[in-house]
Amino acid sequence: MTRPSTQALLDEDISLEQTLTSELRADPDQDMSDLYNPIRSTGYIVVLTLIVGALQLAWSTEFSEATPFLLSLGVSKHALALIWLAGPLSGTFGQPIVGLLSDKCNLDWGRRRPFIIGGCVATVLSLLYLSHSANIVGWFLPNRDQDTVNRYTVPFAAAGIYILDFSIAVIQASCRALIVDVVPSVQQQIANAWAARMIGAFNIVGFWIGTWDLAALFPWLGSSQFKVLSWLVATIMLVLTAFSCWAIKERSPRYDLAIRMERKKQEKRLKDMGIDEENATVLTVVKSFFWQVLRSIARLPRQVKIVCYAEFFAWIGYFPMLFYTSTYVGELYLYENGYNNPLNLPADERQRLLDEGVRRGTAALLAHAVVTLAVDLLLPYLVDRFRDSEWINMRRLWIYSHVVFIVATLSTFFIATSVQAIVLFAFLGIPWGCAVWIPFALISEEISRIKDIKAVQIYDQYRKQSVPSSAESENTLVTPETSFYLSKVMVAKYDHVVYDSGILLAIHNVFVSAPQMLSSLGSSFLFKLLQNSDKDSFDDSLGWIFRVGGIVGIGALVLSIQVKTNAELYKEDKAEALTMPE
Ligand SMILES: OC[C@H]1O[C@H](O[C@H]2O[C@H](CO)[C@@H](O)[C@H](O)[C@H]2O)[C@H](O)[C@@H](O)[C@@H]1O
């Protein structure tokens, strides 16, 4: 059997689109205003991104409390590394499933909010379960000593971390997609900047609450810091998420013309492959899932593809920055204070040095978080202020951020004291502030830009097939600036790409999470290779892990140079439309 040519497939898609437009036009419920989002107020964007902030509280509680809790149960450091794979695994596998399911969700109150609410309830329950897991196991093992209860608790607590991370993935995948769905293209940059600000601000709030003696302040909420913190975070998360979901309304996916069009095309393609989703078996569901993820990866818009590839390289280096900073600073403190022979030190002096090492590690994380927030407050403002500047735009800032990251991580060659290391990690707040804002903004802007182009094309077909009413003649979608998007070459170009926000943002998260697994494996290898035979003497393995991350970051730098601004993408499309014959 000969395969149809790409051009034949595109022609078929275009004619399918025309048929669908007339079918959907016949639907009296269809409203053309559903094709685009109105400009949103700052208050609206703040309320919308509160979900991202509330979620960060769950992350920061897990980061700060889970490791000491697991160690207190007697989990080995090796097992701990396996448990911590839950984060990257949930990001790599959980988010694409949620992305696809929410893209297909057909509930009248929206595609994303059902998942956000479900994910929030699951996150809250798993956080409470995790922090109380020893008590829960204890109920089933009465009259056993604490050591035995702790031993039995380990697998339940490990499962708790996995359930928590997969629940977090449900909210993370849906709240980013919600931003793309309800905010217009021109505000994607600022909306994602607010999401980054929320991450920074709620991280600091999480740190700050974590420094209080919570068990003494709220004894009725639990006997340990972790238990009380979980109750507080659970309450704040539920209140903020419920408020956002109540205040932010989504369009019903049943009346969104662009969504309906994309779904019908998808259904047809699946049927052509022999996959009938209506009479699905487990096997067809799995087959259809992989087919849809692979198809989406193959049809990523070029700009999104470049950002994803750059993220892959960048996150190899970000992973140690997020996970090993406090250990690195703490170790430097210990060894600059003669900790090489701890057994020669009096016990109380040993403990004092260890405690001060932990405090310096925390100070580094705090300095990093404060700089991150400052960067996310200042840079989006500068980008907006110098809107026409060639040197201050998101694309340029992302390039600079990779340069800062590479230089900073390589400077570990010269870092000898914990104070120098704290200053270094404060500096690393600059690239991290960009990392939680710019790639998301670039991808969201691109999805939104493509949706706008599709709106112009769909509207034009709709208009050709109907007598214009007064409401439609007021429509400003097809203008002299956008009319070239109606050329055959542009229709074919944008017919070929996927622009569903759920799956695209989830694929981006795969390029964020998968390299973390590689980085974690690479780090264990370097630890083994560089570790001294005398385990108490100082080794520079962490320094080398940061430097390798910096060198791999050169890949991210090279790729980020290929990212285009919106103006460049527009010019490129226009030139392509004008030079290609119809
Ligand atoms: O993008 C900001 C977020 O980055 C991290 O999350 C990513 O890594 C996680 C595993 O470490 C993974 O589970 C998640 O899916 C990824 O997005 C960070 O852990 C978050 O705190 C931060 O908000």
3-state SS class at 29: coil
DSSP string over 270-304: HHHTT--GGG--HHHHHHHHHHHHHHHHHT--HHH
- CA dist., res. 164 & res. 96, Å (int): 17
Q: Round to whole Å and give the CA distance between 417 and 330.
A: 10
Residues of the chain with pLDDT below 50 are 1-4, 6, 470-473
Sign of CA dihedral 342, 346, 351, 353: negative
509 lines ligand 1 (CB under 6 A): yes
Residue of minimum CA distance from atom 11 in ligand 1: 87
Residue 274 is predicted with a pLDDT of 67
Return the closest-CA partner of residue 526 out of 503, 555, 549: 549
Any ligand 1 atom below 6 A from CB of 87: yes
Closest CA to 243 of 49, 38, 37: 49
What is the model's pLDDT at position 470? 46
Choose among 121, 116, 120, 127: nearest CA to 231. Answer: 127
Q: State residue 473's pLDDT score.
A: 46
How high is the pLDDT of residue 412?
A: 95
pLDDT number for residue 350: 80
Closest ligand 1 atom to 509 CA: 17
In three-state form (DSSP H/G/I as H, E/B as E, the rest C), the secondary structure along 201-212 is HHHHHHHHHHHC
Pocket test for ligand 1, best of 92, 509, 517 (most atoms within 8 A of CB): 509
* pLDDT tens for each residue of 474-521: 556 778 788 889 888 888 888 878 888 889 999 999 999 999 999 999
Closest protein CA for atom 3 of ligand 1: 436
| Model confidence, pTM | 0.88
How many angstroms does the Cα of residue 420 sit away from the middle of ligand 1? 27
Helix (H, G, I), strand (E, B) or coil at 165: helix
ipTM of the shown complex: 0.94
Ligand 1 binding pocket includes 506 (Cβ within 6 Å): no
Q: Is the CB of 56 under 6 A from ligand 1?
A: yes
Are 559 and 313 within 8 A, CB to CB?
A: yes
* 127 ligand 1 Cβ < 6 A: no
Rounded Cα distance, 573 and 485, in Å: 8
Give the separation between CA 494 and CA 262, rounded to whole angstroms. 12
**What is the per-residue pLDDT for 80?**
82
Beta carbons of 398 and 560 less than 8 angstroms apart: yes
**Ligand 1 centroid from CA 199, angstroms:** 10
Mutate to test the pocket of ligand 1, among 325, 512, 517, 519 (most ligand atoms within 8 A of CB): 512
Tell whether ligand 1 has an atom less than 6 A from the beta carbon of residue 172: yes
Listed residue (161, 172, 175) closest to 87, CA to CA: 161
Three-class secondary structure of residue 402 per DSSP: helix
Mutate to test the pocket of ligand 1, among 51, 83, 90, 172 (most ligand atoms within 8 A of CB): 172
**CA distances for 48 relative to 38, 53, 174, 175, 357, angstroms:** 15, 10, 12, 9, 39
Ligand 1 atom closest to residue 319's alpha carbon, by position in its atom list: 11
SS3 at position 581: coil
* pLDDT confidence of residue 31: 55
